[in-house]
Amino acid sequence: MTDPFGARLRAATDARGPFCPGIDPHAALLHAWGLDDTPDGLERFARTAVEALAPVSAILKPQAAFFERHGSRGIVVLERVLADARDAGALVLLDVKRGDIGSTAQAYADAYLDRSSPLAADAMTVSPFLGLGSVQPFVDAAREHGAGLFLLALTSNPGADQVQHARASGGTVAGSVLAGLAELNRGQDPIGSYGAVVGATIGSTEEELAINGPLLAPGVGAQGGTAADVRRIFGASLPDVLPSSSREVLGAGPEPARLRDAVLRANDEYVALLGGVR
């Protein structure tokens, strides 16, 4: 039986640092690398990125939508990205933001968490906004396969507060998501396998972020989030944070050495931010 995702993640970040590069093959990035916006261009882009980034990253975050837009050939590229990253020793968080109920949720969980699936990742992003009960198939699959989940909680996109800050049963929707994650992670050591997505550009929050699980913080770098923002937002939960950026890293390509240097610099910055906290 494999170790739980939380334990594997903590070992990986201790060894390689907490920064989580995103692999988002936007058409504009493909063109910036001198590639066509085609399945062939996608494959060259994605596999170059993985070859450069996976050996120096604890965890990578491919965004599935940018592969899906190329149809079946794009999905084949995504399968290769998952395999190549694992071969290089990196964990993979597949950014798919799935959310549904019953057998459909179970099918999504089987697709992305069952190790027998060609699309299986170490963890996946999930939307809990159909109610926390709706994510139970994902939780069960993650537990069975030693995988992880990252539930959307406090994203920074415009209009997110209409849902996340809405109040029900005495607290906010975001607060209920975070509380549910804390319960799932209770007693897990060194860290639980059920994480939250909390944007690095939300400004501030009064929600309780100490969930004993990983906290994915997208938005650092090109989207405006800084190390100072991460320290202010997460405070005592800093040891559990995975700062994440796509454009900040991928914009350094296509030369593999520059891509690798971008990740190493980011890791150095956030390891210094953690200081002796961990």
Supply the pTM of this predicted model. Answer: 0.95
pLDDT tens-digit series, residues 130-187:
999 999 999 999 999 999 999 999 998 888 889 999 997 789 999 999 999 999 999 9
pLDDT at residue 222 in the model? 67
Is the previous residue joined to 118 through a cis bond, with omega within 30 degrees of 0? no
The number of beta carbons lying within 10 Å of the beta carbon of residue 271 is 15
Residue with token string 């989030």: 225
Amino acid at 166: A
Dist. CA 103–CA 191, nearest whole Å: 29
Q: Is the pLDDT of residue 221 over 80?
A: no
Q: How far apart are the first and last CA of the chain?
A: 27
Q: Would you say 85 and 54 are in contact if contact means Cβ atoms under 8 Å apart? A: yes
Amino acid at 257: A
Helix axes 102-113, 136-145, angle to 10 degrees: 30
Average model confidence (pLDDT) across the chain: 94
Under the phi-then-psi rule, with left for phi > 0, alpha for psi from -120 to 50, and beta for the rest, what region is 169? Answer: left
Q: Would you say 213 and 190 are in contact if contact means Cβ atoms under 8 Å apart? A: no
Question: Could you please report the per-residue DSSP string of 162-192?
Answer: HHHT-EETTEEHHHHHHHHHHHHTTT-SS--
Ordered alpha helix ranges (H), 116-255: 136-145, 161-164, 173-184, 227-234, 247-250
Extract long-range pairs of 27-31: CB within 8 Å, 24+ residues apart: 29/247, 29/250, 29/251, 29/253
pLDDT at residue 110 in the model? 98
Q: Report the alpha-carbon angle 21-187-111, nearest 5.
A: 45
Helix axes 256-274, 39-53, angle to 10 degrees: 50
pLDDT tens-digit series, residues 103-136:
999 999 999 999 999 999 999 999 999 999 999 9
pLDDT tens-digit series, residues 194-217:
999 999 999 889 999 999 999 999
CA distances from 175 to 126, 134, 136, 233, 264 (A): 16, 17, 18, 15, 34
Residue positions annotated with a catalytic role: 97
CA distances from 72 to 76, 79, 113, 154 (A): 6, 11, 20, 32
